């Protein structure tokens, strides 16, 4: 699918660009449009950033889609869970990807804003302030839906480096 086709699937509005969710493959109560890494803006944005990096595609269509996806993930910061898969950590990772590719500070600032909202959801657990799981009910060490993904994001934000679990030309963490 070409970038223009991804643009045709996007639903753009004041809250950015959202992509439809295949409800047959997800829970029936899933939203019809989503902004997350597993389904929606952050995931499509992540792909487009990597497409642009790998192919050198510099057309306005790709840039506008990345900008729309970035706007959408920032717009969800108050209601999104903490998870990497479908929450703040994964959305912030996408914004860091966009910042690295474009060199535009607005994307890193957006990632930092999402981290502030991630921190606001922290809970006291066994005497420690920790980020809860995707359901905000317990603390799990899992990468996609628990604390592991949030910690990976914080390490990347603080020390730099590529995104975990995705192919890069450099050494990945953790």
Q: List the domain boundaries for the chain.
A: 3-159
- Give the separation between CA 86 and CA 74, rounded to whole angstroms: 13
Task: Let me know: does 92 contact 86? Beta carbons within 8 Å.
Answer: no
| Confidence (pLDDT) at 140 | 93
- How many other CB atoms are there within 10 angstroms of residue 137's CB atom? 9
With CA atoms as reference, report the closest residue to 87 among 146, 33, 46, 45: 146
Cis ω for the linkage preceding 161 (within 30 of 0): no
Per-residue pLDDT tens listing for the chain (174 residues): 555 666 788 999 999 999 888 766 665 565 788 899 988 999 999 999 988 888 887 778 888 999 999 999 999 999 999 999 999 999 999 999 999 988 999 999 999 999 999 999 999 999 999 999 999 989 999 999 999 999 999 999 999 999 998 877 544 444
Q: Which long-range contacts (CB under 8 A, 24 or more apart) does 116-119 make?
A: 117/77, 117/78, 117/80, 117/88, 118/82, 118/88, 118/89, 118/92, 118/150, 118/153
| Confidence (pLDDT) at 83 | 95
| Confidence (pLDDT) at 28 | 55
3-159 belongs to which CATH class? Answer: mainly alpha
φ, ψ of residue 170 in degrees (nearest 5)? -115, 175
The token duo for 4 is 């223009």
């Amino acid at each position: 699918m070409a970038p223009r086709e991804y643009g045709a699937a996007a639903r753009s509005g004041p809250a950015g660009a959202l992509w439809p969710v295949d409800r047959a493959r997800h829970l029936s109560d899933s939203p019809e449009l989503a902004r997350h890494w597993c389904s929606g803006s952050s995931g499509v944005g992540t792909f487009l950033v990597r497409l642009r990096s790998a192919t050198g595609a510099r057309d306005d269509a790709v840039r506008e889609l990345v900008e729309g996806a970035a706007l959408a993930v920032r717009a969800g910061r108050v209601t999104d869970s903490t998870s990497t898969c479908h929450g703040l950590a994964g959305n912030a990772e996408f914004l860091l990807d966009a910042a690295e590719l474009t060199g535009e500070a607005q994307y890193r600032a957006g990632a930092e804003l999402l981290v502030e909202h991630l921190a606001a959801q922290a809970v006291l657990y066994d005497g420690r302030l920790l980020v809860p799981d995707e359901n905000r009910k317990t603390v799990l060490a899992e990468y996609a839906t628990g604390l592991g993904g949030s910690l990976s994001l914080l390490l990347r934000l603080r020390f730099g480096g590529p995104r975990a679990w995705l192919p890069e030309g450099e050494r990945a963490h953790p």
